Structure formats: C-alpha cells, structure tokens
Amino acid sequence: MNKNYCIDSVMEIIKNIPSGKVTTYGAIGKTLKISPRLVGRILHQNPDPSIYSCHRVVRSDGTIAVGYAFGGKDGQIKKLISEGIEIKNGRVCNMKIFIWLSDY
C-alpha cells in the first residue's frame, strides 16, 4: 500500500469519527489492512487536530495512550470528557457505548 494512500485513508477515517465516540488504532488498522502501530505513527503527525480528531482514537482496551501529541494523555482525556465520553483511571469506561466503527 502506498504511503500517501495510508496517511490519507487514516486521516479520512478519523475526520469522520463523530463527537462523543471513539475508535481504536486496531479498528482503523484492520479496516485499512495496516498495523495499529502505523496508525499511531500517522496520527502522531496529524497536521491539524481541529479537522482530524485524533483524540478520539484509543487503544483496543479503551486506555488512553501516553504519547498523545497534542497535550499528552491529560489533554486527550480532557477533550474526550468534554464530548461526554466517560473516562475512569485513564480508560474509556464502556467501550460498547462509545465505540464507533468506520464503514470506510
């Protein structure tokens, strides 16, 4: 898969995650047939977090990654809470309620 296609595809998916929902690195990776780690590297280079809502991407167990590029873990948690997502001990409380899966 072409590098630019991967980047564009990841960004298109995260651009469409609705406020109040999250998805996972693994779900994006599975959709695009790429590694969840590659998804994380792409998101870390997000050119505009106001358009590409990378704060809505969490680990598959609902935990928040420590390396969030725009304010760290605490910044990501604040953004998620402001959208109504329940977080406890650095984890989305109920992934079944808050998960969003792309139909990309």
Instruction: Write out pLDDT tens, residues 27-40.
Output: 999 999 999 999 99
In a domain, 91, yes or no: yes
| Residue 1 pLDDT level (bands cut at 50, 70, 90) | low
**Whole-Å CA distances, 91 to 3, 12, 31, 66, 88:** 31, 25, 23, 11, 5
d(CA 20, CA 100): 9
Number of domains comprising the chain: 1
In a domain, 103, yes or no: no
Residue range(s) defining the domain that contains residue 67: 3-98
Each residue's pLDDT tens digit, 19-68: 999 999 999 999 999 999 999 999 999 999 999 999 999 999 999 988 88
Active-site residue among 10, 11, 27, 54?
A: 54
Question: For position 43, which CATH number holds?
Answer: 1.10.10.10
23, with CB counted inside 10 A (0-12, 13-18, 19+), is: buried
Q: Are 91 and 80 in contact (CB under 8 A)?
A: no
In a domain, 79, yes or no: yes
In a domain, 15, yes or no: yes
User: What's the token pair of residue 77?
Assistant: 């948690």
In a domain, 104, yes or no: no
> Does residue 54 carry a catalytic annotation?
yes
The number of C-alpha atoms within 13 Å of 46 and in the hemisphere containing its C-beta is: 24
